[in-house]
Amino acid sequence: MDTGWIRLPWQDTVWQQLQAPGASMHHAMLLRGPAGIGKGRLARALAASLLCQRPGPSRDACGGCDSCGWLMAGNHPDFRRLSPAATLAEEAEIDGEGDATDAGSASKKPSQQITIDQIRGLASFMALTTHRGGARVLLVEPADTLNLAAANALLKTLEEPPPATRFVLVTGQPRRLPATVLSRCLSIHLPLPSAQQARHWLTQQGIAEPADLLAQAGGRPLLALELADPERAAARRQFLAQLSRPDFDPHGLAEKAHRDSVPLWVEWMQTWCHDLLLIQVGGLPRFHADEQPALQGLAQRADRGRLLDWELRLRTARWESRQSVNARLFCDDLLMDYRQLFT
């Protein structure tokens, strides 16, 4: 069975929660937790389990029945996934199945949100009877990208779900979902795996020294695996080398920003800011231990009040970075604020 549909080792306890009578009968589940811990993997494993014709004793999908075969091939008649058009287009590019215009108009950038048109497009899927009288599963990922109109339209279906229909919503930012949608879902929190579990899994993926990567990823193993990519690691080193110099040129650095790099840069700035604050109160860096000497010197020079203001700005910027922004201007603004910490 494709590993993308198999839950991860540290999710056993949450899986048991999902299979308990109170949860297994609920029509809508909201899987929430930080990015990089495998919420999507668990959601797919749950969908596969609900659709499988021969689930095992632990209710995992068998991987060999017709239903599992259709799911792996991407053509199961009783499964749909709702994601922003931009996400679907990016995945199609990575898989070599299309280009960025496949999921949207050639004259218009694909949306970063789940739109009401996508909800309306589910009408026939929801209206038809299920194949062989089994379950029907709608995966919404990430649910916090539902725009207001789409969330309200989905709410109507959550309030009066068709027979045998199960909803699986995935989010790292549940507060961005309307309270009405949250109230219709059974919320399941996914915690970070233990350091031992995360290190062991990363070692199995071929990472020889996972400790530093896990620190950079804040204990999130899937993110740590992404950070192991040589190009990503080189980009991080180059970016942090600039932040390490109080006299760096923010405008020159911002000129190098592009749409795909903005969320990464904001992530690195936010974790860099976190480490500076930790050092100022007598702690040790959590995310960038390999940059401790530079962080120590910067923490002594940074204005505490401005650093706290920058931290608040970065919280908002993290969400904004995944929207349609002018990469250069957006990063220039944040980097100028950073340099002001040392004036």
Residue with tokens 């920003």: 257
- Reduced to 3 states (helix: H, G, I; strand: E, B; else coil), residue 6 is coil
| Buried b or exposed e, range 267-306, using 16+ CB within 10 angstroms | bbbbbbbbbbbbbeeeeebebbeebeebbeebbeebeeee
Can you say how many angstroms the Cα of residue 203 is from the centroid of all Cα atoms in its chain? 22
- Reduced to 3 states (helix: H, G, I; strand: E, B; else coil), residue 41 is helix
Dihedral pair phi/psi, residue 278, rounded to 5°: -60, -45
On whether the CB atoms of residues 99 and 157 are closer than 8 A, the answer is no
Look at residue 126 and tell me whether its pLDDT is greater than 70.
Answer: yes
CB neighbour list of residue 343: distance below 8 Å, 6 or more residues apart: none
pLDDT level of residue 184 (50, 70, 90 thresholds): very high
Residues recorded for the chain: 343
Domain residue spans of the chain? 3-189, 229-340
* Amino acid letter, 305: G
CATH label, 3-189, candidates 3.40.50.300, 3.40.640.10, 3.60.15.10, 3.30.70.360:
3.40.50.300
pLDDT tens-digit map of 211-261: 999 999 999 999 999 999 999 999 999 999 999 998 999 999 999 998 888
Q: How many CB atoms lie within 10 A of CB 64?
A: 12
pLDDT tens-digit map of 19-37: 988 787 899 999 999 999 9
On whether the CB atoms of residues 63 and 218 are closer than 8 A, the answer is no
pLDDT level of residue 292 (50, 70, 90 thresholds): very high
CB neighbour list of residue 47: distance below 8 Å, 6 or more residues apart: 5, 71, 79, 137, 139, 168
User: pTM of the predicted model, to two decimals?
Assistant: 0.86
Tell me the torsion sign for CA atoms 74, 80, 85, 88: negative
Which tokens sit at 92? 């199609």
Which tokens sit at 202? 């990363």
Give first-to-last CA distance, the chain, whole Å: 56
| Torsion (CA) 266, 270, 271, 273 in degrees, nearest 10 | 130
Tell me whether the omega of the peptide bond preceding residue 9 falls within 30 degrees of 0, making it cis.
Answer: no
Provide the pLDDT for residue 267. 93
Provide the pLDDT for residue 106. 47
Task: Indicate the average pLDDT of the chain.
Answer: 91
